[in-house]
Chains A and B, each alone.
Chain A
């Protein structure tokens, strides 16, 4: 409860807290994208031949594809030749201890509230810290290894566990899937890899923290999570970027595989730089996240709190292949000023008695546009499938927009699909009521908005939930009055 107190205290701090630039010595390659660049990235990472082949196939596919235009977004044209595709903090090689990490880097993560020193972390969250194109430090690797859990950077996994990576890479999101997915598959730099063996319940939260630092670079990370039979893991993802006037591209892929009886909870608090109040700068966040419930009784839950980015294009989805498998999507997406978000989920029901839940809470303020886009697909063999979708929109002010695009496609008559949608505003009566109890306008809005998003916030692990509540309040600063 002291948390809500703290949250309210911090509402008054305006502006993007993470906009600083770190002075880290960075190795970058030339701007531009062609096959040589793809080869260079692969070479720098000392990759096996099959992976280079995978990248090249993806690159060739990408060249034939067109940027998608179906989203309710105004995306300025992106010059893909004007982007740097690889940037890494210098002096790495494999780091064995923290002493080998650039102090400026440690400092950066400390400023972000992420400690890379294991002994200082009381909460027991294992972190993989990714800055620009590479992973700089993974904590608690040894502790986790005792359980047979593999948690390391993607590059390391390619070297140490190539058979696992080869087996699962692209198995949920093939490189042919979509434009940004193909691009990522060609140039992805690093990310996290996680494997939970049969029957193991991961004893701590696993977390990846993504940070863009270098200018003019794109960030293309790749996360692969495999939960073997009967295992469980809760995974957290956080991200921030410096405040810059130019837009920066972030095109990631997250793939999750849940085998029989396995459960994966994936939570994101997305706080990329959203651009300034006039709409200058900010991250383009074009991300493909998909989970495959491969085995019977498996479960994948996505929870996301989206407050950052100039443009968000993101649809965490579940393919429910195993019988009785369960997919969940809980989302809060906030847009303020000139931000645009087109986000939602896809639930593809293939197995029998598969169940899915979608709870989406959009909050729009300023001149922003916030769209929910969801698809529920019931295949002809998915007897007894059920979906429930709840899509709510909350509007602050009258210059913003909220839109809902639900698509339902049922090929099995026994399926039950329910969709509910509401649109509301914060009423003057609610504001007055809060103010009459001693809360100022901003705090009142923070409270009301957090209440509105409660159902989703409740899904987050405690530590993250507190962070998310503060973020919600802060990102709506100055949106009323």
Chain B
């Protein structure tokens, strides 16, 4: 589904990603771990098309298409979804209207007939239950005055609404108490199928108790330096990132 080869990314003259490789197949869950500031969000941004980097080289192929050539909105319409680390507020725009607009655009792009008002509401209410979203929250403006946990819930709710093929969850666990974490993780798990894939970015092992990954990658110094199964997450948690330096699969 996603093939990243030798990805280099720099911002303001500083190289952040230095030859990153990653391959994700349908049905898989990949966790990307690494200390703060290593470029995990940068990777998510580059996949989704954020246009703030001065230099990007390498290859990102998604469903056989060159992503670098695609506009941000087209990547989204092709099924790439990002659960933001810091979701932004859009005052005055209700979540309902926001999702309606987004869904209509995606349907239009795919040549499908947009949902009628009634169909949309039914669908909307179904998905709301998935993340135990209250009616009150759904009527509020997008992220405006939301607590950290509410913001993350709202991201997963939107993910449920848009039903992506490739979901990237950027630190979706940060700022969540244990109950919220469970709800959010449950939502993500229910959305898993053999057709879609998830990339979970986190620097705590905790989330991976709930969303069990097939692969764990350690991002360090701009590259994926170690890949393993879910037990790698425990090892990391226990031994810290210093340990990686001596046990990397590739030269640092």
* A residues at B contact (CB < 8 Å): 1-2, 4-5, 8, 427-430, 432-441, 443, 447-448, 450-455
Write out, one digit per residue, whether chain B residues 101-123 have a CB within 8 A of any chain A CB (1) or not (0). 11111100100001011001100
Residues of B within 8 A of A428 (CB): 52
- A sample of 11 cross-chain residue pairs with beta-carbon separation below 8 angstroms, ordered by A number, consists of A5-B100, A428-B52, A433-B87, A433-B90, A434-B102, A436-B76, A436-B81, A439-B73, A439-B102, A447-B93, A452-B91
Q: Are B90 and A438 in contact (CB under 8 A)?
A: no
In this assembly, does B206 line the interface, its C-beta being within 8 Å of a C-beta of chain A? no
A448–B97 alpha-carbon span in the complex (Å): 11
Contact status of A440 and B92, CB under 8 A, knowing A1-B97, A4-B101, A447-B101: no
Residues of B within 8 A of A451 (CB): 90-93, 141
Q: Are B93 and A1 in contact (CB under 8 A)?
A: no
Q: Are A435 and B76 in contact (CB under 8 A)?
A: yes
Residues of B within 8 A of A433 (CB): 84, 87-88, 90
- Shortest A305–chain B CB gap in Å is 15
Residues of B within 8 A of A4 (CB): 97, 100-101
Residues of B within 8 A of A429 (CB): 88
Contact status of A448 and B90, CB under 8 A, knowing A1-B120, A4-B97, A432-B50: yes
Q: Are A438 and B50 in contact (CB under 8 A)?
A: no
In this assembly, does B82 line the interface, its C-beta being within 8 Å of a C-beta of chain A? yes
**B162: which of A2, A427, A437, A447 is its contact (CB, 8 Å)?**
A437
In this assembly, does B30 line the interface, its C-beta being within 8 Å of a C-beta of chain A? no
Known: A436-B48, A436-B72. 7 other contacts (CB 8 A): A2-B117, A4-B101, A430-B88, A436-B81, A438-B73, A441-B73, A452-B91
A427–B143 alpha-carbon span in the complex (Å): 15
In this assembly, does B243 line the interface, its C-beta being within 8 Å of a C-beta of chain A? no
**A1: which of B84, B91, B100, B109 is its contact (CB, 8 Å)?**
B100
Residues of A within 8 A of B73 (CB): 435-436, 438-441
**B101: which of A5, A453, A455 is its contact (CB, 8 Å)?**
A5
A447–B95 alpha-carbon span in the complex (Å): 12
Residues of A within 8 A of B89 (CB): 430
* B residues at A contact (CB < 8 Å): 48-50, 52, 71-73, 76-77, 81-82, 84, 87-93, 96-98, 100-106, 109, 114, 116-117, 120-121, 141, 158, 162
Q: Are A1 and B72 in contact (CB under 8 A)?
A: no
A196–B53 alpha-carbon span in the complex (Å): 63
Residues of A within 8 A of B87 (CB): 433
Contact status of A427 and B88, CB under 8 A, knowing A4-B101, A440-B71: yes
Contact status of A438 and B92, CB under 8 A, knowing A1-B97, A2-B117: no
Q: Which 8 A-B pairs have the closest CB atoms?
A: A451-B92, A454-B92, A451-B93, A437-B102, A435-B72, A438-B76, A438-B105, A429-B88
A2–B77 alpha-carbon span in the complex (Å): 20
A43–B89 alpha-carbon span in the complex (Å): 60
- Shortest B220–chain A CB gap in Å is 27
A366–B105 alpha-carbon span in the complex (Å): 27
Q: Are A443 and B72 in contact (CB under 8 A)?
A: no
Contact status of A438 and B102, CB under 8 A, knowing A1-B96, A1-B120, A451-B141: yes
Q: Are B104 and A5 in contact (CB under 8 A)?
A: yes
Q: Are B52 and A437 in contact (CB under 8 A)?
A: no
Q: Are B120 and A430 in contact (CB under 8 A)?
A: no
A443–B101 alpha-carbon span in the complex (Å): 9
- Shortest B117–chain A CB gap in Å is 5
Residues of B within 8 A of A447 (CB): 90, 93, 97-98, 101
Residues of A within 8 A of B72 (CB): 432, 435-436
Contact status of A438 and B106, CB under 8 A, knowing A5-B101, A447-B101: yes
Q: Are A1 and B117 in contact (CB under 8 A)?
A: yes
A2–B120 alpha-carbon span in the complex (Å): 10
Give the nearest-CB partner of A435 in chain B: B72
Residues of A within 8 A of B84 (CB): 433, 436
A435–B117 alpha-carbon span in the complex (Å): 23
A2–B100 alpha-carbon span in the complex (Å): 9
Residues of B within 8 A of A436 (CB): 48-49, 72-73, 76, 81-82, 84
Contact status of A438 and B114, CB under 8 A, knowing A4-B97, A433-B87, A451-B90: no
Q: Are A455 and B92 in contact (CB under 8 A)?
A: yes
A427–B52 alpha-carbon span in the complex (Å): 13
A153–B174 alpha-carbon span in the complex (Å): 65
A441–B121 alpha-carbon span in the complex (Å): 26
Residues of B within 8 A of A8 (CB): 101, 104-105
Contact status of A439 and B105, CB under 8 A, knowing A2-B116, A432-B72: yes
Give the nearest-CB partner of B99 in chain A: A437
- Shortest B76–chain A CB gap in Å is 4
